[in-house]
Amino acid sequence: MTSGNDIKFDFYETLSSAEEHVLRLKHKIKSSSNFQIICRGYYRDENKNPLDLLKFLNANELSHVPVVVFTKDKNGLISHLEKQAPSMDIRDWDHRLFITSSSQELITKVKEKKHHKYGH
């Protein structure tokens, strides 16, 4: 899907299928400042959350890729990530994840990153 601002979205139901997609595009992503990821706060069927995504990005030398998290319960997710992050050895999650429950804020952030082309 492409919006009027020339933003292309590739949708995947599961985190694992999105990770496979990212791996297929890994070299292109490494050389692009426009690529960003929008994910859910929790993937129930896989028992995964944005920390798992950050761990995947780290392992694939893609830690520069910005991640926007869309969730219904922003405060609950932040509280959960604060508790879980140390056990996953992810200390910079709060700087790497932009977490929102507002669709308008999500759209604004995606457009901002597209126009300004900065990392996080």
Q: Examine residue 98 and state whether it is found in any structural domain, yes or no.
A: yes
Count of domains in the chain? 1
- Can you give the pLDDT at residue 120? 42
Q: Which residue segment(s) compose the domain that 77 sits in?
A: 15-113
Q: Are 35 and 8 in contact (CB under 8 A)?
A: no
- Can you give the pLDDT at residue 116? 60
Q: Examine residue 7 and state whether it is found in any structural domain, yes or no.
A: no
Examine the pLDDT at 84 and tell me if it is beyond 60.
yes
Q: Which of 1 and 32 is assigned the larger pLDDT?
A: 32
Burial of residue 54, with CB atoms counted within 10 A of its CB: 0-12 exposed, 13-18 middle, 19 or more buried: buried
Q: Examine residue 2 and state whether it is found in any structural domain, yes or no.
A: no
Examine the pLDDT at 110 and tell me if it is beyond 90.
no
Q: Examine residue 93 and state whether it is found in any structural domain, yes or no.
A: yes
Average pLDDT of span 9-24: 94
CA 84 to chain centroid, in Å, comes to 17
Position of tokens 């319960």? 73
Q: Which residues contact 110 (CB under 8 A, 6 or more apart)?
A: 7, 36, 38, 68
